[in-house]
Each structure stands twice: as structure tokens, then as C-alpha cells.
Amino acid sequence: MNNVLIPIRKTRKCSRCGLKYPAKDEVCKHCKGLNETQIKALQEHHQQSMKSNRKLAGLFGFITIALLLLMVAAAFV
Ligand SMILES: [Zn+2]
């Protein structure tokens, strides 16, 4: 039954902070020793970095498309 719940990479999702940690660890290293307020701050920080990662990915996608368009336009000149 446990095999179904453990992903192939052997990480567990922490039920306290929601971050992933190695399944071999007894406790989550991210929120170990933190109180509820600190966990909240950690979660917010994590979400913000996820958001900015997505923004960055979008920017790179835009630059790639712009470069491709420029190359196509240059080929036709
Ligand atoms: Zn945790």
C-alpha cells in the first residue's frame, strides 16, 4: 500500500509546509523546528518563488519567439 503513495524519486510531500523532502528523512528539513507562523512565511516565500519562476519562463518563451520571428523575417529580406 505504501508503494503506491511513494513516487519514483522517493520524495515525500510534507503535510505541514507542503514542500517535498527525501523519503528517507524522518522529518521534513524545510519546516523542522519551525512554528506555525514561520511555516506560513515559508509557504508564502515558496509560492512567490514559484510565481517568479513562471514569470521568468514566460519571458524566455517570449524572447525565443521574438528571435524566431526575427530570423524568419531576416530570411525573407
Ligand atoms: Zn515541511
Query: What would the pLDDT profile of 5-21 be if each residue is shown by its tens digit?
Result: 545 678 999 999 999 99
Task: For the chain, give the mean pLDDT.
Answer: 89
How many angstroms separate the Cα of 39 from the Cα of each of 16, 19, 23, 33? Answer: 8, 10, 20, 10
Question: Which amino acid would we find at residue 49?
Answer: S
Query: Is the CB of residue 21 less than 8 Å from the CB of residue 11?
Result: yes
Rounded distance from Cα 39 to ligand 1 centre (Å): 8
Rounded distance from Cα 29 to ligand 1 centre (Å): 6
Query: Is the CB of residue 11 less than 8 Å from the CB of residue 22?
Result: yes
Rounded distance from Cα 24 to ligand 1 centre (Å): 14
Structural domain count, the chain = 1
Range of the domain at 61: 2-76
Rounded distance from Cα 12 to ligand 1 centre (Å): 10
pLDDT at 8: 63
CA nearest 43: which of 30, 29, 60? 30
E-only strand ranges, the chain: 11-13, 20-22
Segments of the chain scoring below 50 in pLDDT: 6
Rounded distance from Cα 26 to ligand 1 centre (Å): 11
